[in-house]
């Protein structure tokens, strides 16, 4: 029997959409269980995801998917919904209208950046061709806009860390790993 007082995050054994959730909980000092899915050394996608697909309808999730977050009787899916909940719970949301607008805008912009990067580039059959264009055109535009949006602020919504900052960190770290030099050009 598991301890329901300790939250559980369910996700594949990768960073992906669960990493900002892990970062936020770690930052707040919250102990959590990381339940990993996916068979190491699987020969194909079906074998890799088999355990998750067998278990997902048994967890009582309204919309079975991963990442999921369970805390007592609370059961959430959808990474953004989880991050918003944790932001409210741990006081990591904007507190004024200007900050809320920036929070909402950045949340959606980061989702667009991540989707474009992962599905538009990394998982695209024309990756090698698209990579050249992404590095020369798209990445400088993306980073330039994020840099201007951050400006002289310590955090994206102001002077206090916010749940979207954990999402921003993860997206920027993916981009840094993809092209170290490009991200290092921006001082903020």
Three-state SS sequence of 101-147? HHHHHHHHHHHHHHHHHHHHHHCCCCHHHHHHHHHHHHHHHHHHHHH
What pLDDT does 3 receive?
A: 53
Domain definitions of the chain by residue range = 8-90, 97-178
pLDDT digits (tens, 9 = 90+) for 37-88: 987 788 888 888 888 988 999 999 999 999 999 999 999 999 999 999 999 9
Token digits of residue 151 = 């400006």
Q: Compute the C-alpha angle 68/117/62, nearest 5°.
A: 20
Please tell me the distance from the alpha carbon of residue 159 to that of residue 94, in angstroms, as a whole number: 10
So what's the architecture of 8-90 in CATH?
Up-down Bundle (1.20)
Please tell me the distance from the alpha carbon of residue 167 to that of residue 9, in angstroms, as a whole number: 16
Q: Is 156 helix (H, G, I), strand (E, B) or coil?
A: coil
pLDDT digits (tens, 9 = 90+) for 112-141: 999 999 999 999 999 999 999 999 999 999
Same fold? 8-90, 97-178: yes
What Rg do the C-alpha atoms of the chain give, in angstroms? 18
pTM above 0.85, yes or no: yes
Domain 97-178 has CATH 1.20.1050.10: yes
In the chain, % of residues over pLDDT 70: 98
């Amino acid at each position: 029997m598991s301890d329901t007082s300790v939250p559980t995050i369910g996700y594949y054994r990768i960073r992906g959409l669960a990493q900002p959730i892990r970062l936020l909980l770690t930052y707040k000092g919250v102990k959590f269980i990381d339940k990993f899915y996916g068979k190491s050394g699987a020969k194909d996608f079906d074998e890799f995801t088999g355990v998750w697909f067998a278990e997902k309808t048994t967890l009582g999730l309204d919309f079975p998917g991963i990442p999921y977050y369970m805390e007592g009787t609370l059961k959430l899916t959808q990474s953004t919904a989880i991050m918003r909940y944790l932001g409210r719970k741990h006081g990591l949301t904007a507190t004024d209208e200007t900050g809320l607008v920036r929070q909402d805008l950045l949340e959606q912009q980061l989702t667009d950046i991540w989707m474009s990067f992962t599905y538009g580039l990394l998982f695209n059959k024309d990756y090698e061709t698209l990579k050249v264009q992404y590095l020369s055109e798209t990445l400088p535009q993306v980073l330039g806009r994020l840099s201007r949006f951050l400006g002289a602020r310590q955090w994206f919504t102001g002077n206090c860390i916010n749940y979207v900052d954990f999402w921003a960190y993860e997206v920027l770290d993916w981009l840094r790993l993809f092209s170290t030099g490009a991200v290092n050009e921006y001082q903020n």
